[in-house]
């Protein structure tokens, strides 16, 4: 129990909040396989999410139950506050077994607890909750009533506590350090992988008093025409003498993420690129001004789109999403999106990435920000030049 990031009282408050949401939704039991939800509920932290594992929350239990691989059970003892009786390992021989499955034993556990007829909510859209997990669990509990829990725990995570915001701000400092270091080494002829190596080092070394964690997404660095699409990584090619490059990275602190995107032009940029960059920065400023308590997610997106329209531009995809605690393959929370129709009312303590990329036919520009909602607008988590960065 030496590595738990929050107080026992904070975990108890989270657990109570989730049980309250369960009561409203009509669940007796929920099965949380999203590793971020597992960590948020218990503190559990380990690179074990590639195999079946979960945290159970039952309405009558005083603490969650961790269920996972036998060789990972010690990780649960080390990183969670759970009592030993609520750390339940499954048999090692079930790993990648052609017939049996770890969730056969999960079904046995649920039956043994007297919950075989429970109303059970599962995370149908969680990255690691596979079709086979669901099949074995439902087959093993034929009398239970299963349904999608609608990312119930993800929504409970939306408003960050003061302790979480400390980690979000430290993540922002780490991200700023890593982005500024990358910009320092980006010069014509420098191999792309060298820039990425510097990013990884800076992300890991962190800042004084706050070491870095691994990010849920690897550094993204499209170059040249590749900037016209958002999710390309790097190659061993050198940076061009003249042309665009884009970096999207995050700082991570105790699994809390602050992402950031910047666009760099090597050599003097064409006026068209400069104009798009100015419009993007102006649009982000407008969105952040609207990102205050009481306004809606859709209103933030609307402020951004109004600026784009003024400059003859448009962006059809959402402009942002909630962020916080995350594991691969994504740093988003899968809840609120900054897009038309999302009428979620913003509250102080919510955190977002306003991913302001505009991807055109031949090039793209993205100058994004991570921010915390406050009563006066969006508070930036990172501190990197908010402009098209030109390297002569």
CA 138 to chain centroid, in Å, comes to 29
Beta strands 29-32 and 145-148 are: unpaired
Q: How many angstroms separate the CA atoms of 302 and 290, rounded?
A: 9
Residue ranges of the chain with per-residue pLDDT less than 70: 1-2
CA count, 13 A, side-chain hemisphere, 33: 26
Residue 216 CB partners (closer than 8 Å, separation 6+) = 250, 252, 257, 326, 327, 328, 329, 330, 331
Angle 151-32-340 from CA coordinates, rounded to 5°: 15
Q: pLDDT value at position 392?
A: 87
All domains of the chain in start order, with CATH: 8-156 (3.40.350.10), 162-391 (3.90.230.10)
Count of positions (residues) in the chain: 392
- The span from the CA of 207 to the CA of 195, in Å, is 19
Helix (H) or strand (E) holding 176, with range, is helix 162-185
Between CA 239 and CA 262 the distance in angstroms is 16
- pLDDT of 1: 42
**How would you class 256 by CB atoms within 10 Å of its CB: exposed for 0-12, middle for 13-18, buried for 19 or more?**
buried
Q: How confident is the model at residue 2, as a pLDDT?
A: 56
Q: How far apart are CA 364 and CA 152, in angstroms?
A: 35
Three-class secondary structure of residue 102 per DSSP? helix
Q: Of the candidates 367, 354, 352, which has an alpha carbon nearest to the alpha carbon of residue 281? A: 367
Q: Which residues contact 305 (CB under 8 A, 6 or more apart)?
A: 283, 314, 315, 319
Specify the pLDDT at position 3.
79
Indicate the pairing of strand 145-148 with strand 119-122: parallel
Give dist(CA 341, CA 338) in Å, integer: 9
| DSSP bridge partners of 379 | 372
Pick from 45, 57, 87: which is nearest to 69 by CA?
87
Convert the pLDDT of each residue in 14-63 to its tens digit: 999 999 999 999 999 999 999 999 999 999 999 999 999 999 999 999 99
User: SS3 for 19?
Assistant: helix
End-to-end CA distance of the chain: give it in Å, rounded. Answer: 52
Rounded to whole angstroms, how far apart are CA atoms 338 and 237? 35
Output the CA angle 205-209-212, nearest 5 degrees: 35
Reported pTM:
0.97
CA angle 258, 264, 266 (to 5 degrees): 155
Report the helix count and the strand count for the chain, using DSSP H and E: 10, 16
């Amino acid at each position: 129990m030496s590595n738990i990031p929050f107080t026992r009282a904070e975990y108890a408050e989270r657990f109570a909040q989730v049980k309250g949401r369960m009561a409203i939704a009509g669940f007796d039991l929920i099965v949380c396989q999203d590793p971020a939800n597992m960590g948020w509920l218990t503190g559990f932290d380990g690179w074990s999410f590639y195999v079946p594992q979960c945290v159970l929350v039952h309405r009558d239990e005083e603490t969650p139950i961790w269920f996972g691989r036998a060789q990972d059970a010690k990780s649960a003892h080390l990183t969670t506050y759970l009592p030993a009786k609520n750390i339940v390992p499954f048999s090692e021989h079930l790993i990648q077994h052609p017939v049996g499955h770890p969730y056969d034993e999960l079904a046995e556990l649920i039956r043994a607890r007297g919950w075989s007829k429970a109303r059970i909510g599962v995370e149908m859209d969680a990255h690691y909750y596979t079709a086979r997990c669901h099949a074995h669990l439902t087959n093993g509990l034929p009398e239970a009533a299963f349904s999608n829990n609608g990312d119930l725990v993800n929504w409970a995570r939306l408003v960050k506590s003061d302790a979480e915001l400390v980690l979000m701000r430290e993540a922002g400092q780490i991200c700023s350090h890593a982005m500024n270091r990358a910009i320092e080494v980006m010069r014509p002829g420098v191999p792309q992988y060298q820039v990425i190596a510097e990013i990884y080092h800076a992300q890991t070394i962190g800042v004084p008093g706050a070491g870095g964690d691994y990010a849920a997404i690897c550094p993204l660095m499209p170059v040249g025409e590749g900037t016209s699409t958002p999710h390309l990584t790097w190659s061993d090619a050198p940076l061009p003498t003249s042309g665009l490059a884009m970096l999207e990275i995050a700082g991570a602190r105790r699994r809390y993420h602050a992402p950031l995107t910047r666009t760099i032009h090597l050599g003097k940029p064409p006026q068209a690129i400069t104009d798009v960059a100015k419009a993007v920065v102006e649009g982000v400023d407008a969105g952040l001004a609207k990102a205050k308590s009481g306004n809606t997610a859709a209103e933030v997106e609307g402020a951004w789109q109004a600026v784009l329209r003024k400059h003859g531009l448009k962006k059809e995809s959402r402009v942002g999403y909630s962020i916080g605690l995350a594991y691969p393959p994504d740093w988003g929370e899968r809840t609120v999106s900054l897009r038309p129709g999302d009428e979620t009312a913003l509250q102080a303590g919510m955190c977002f990435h306003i991913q302001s990329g505009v991807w055109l036919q031949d090039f793209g520009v993205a100058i994004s920000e991570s921010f915390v909602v406050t009563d006066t607008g969006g508070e930036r988590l990172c501190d990197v030049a908010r402009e098209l960065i030109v390297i002569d």
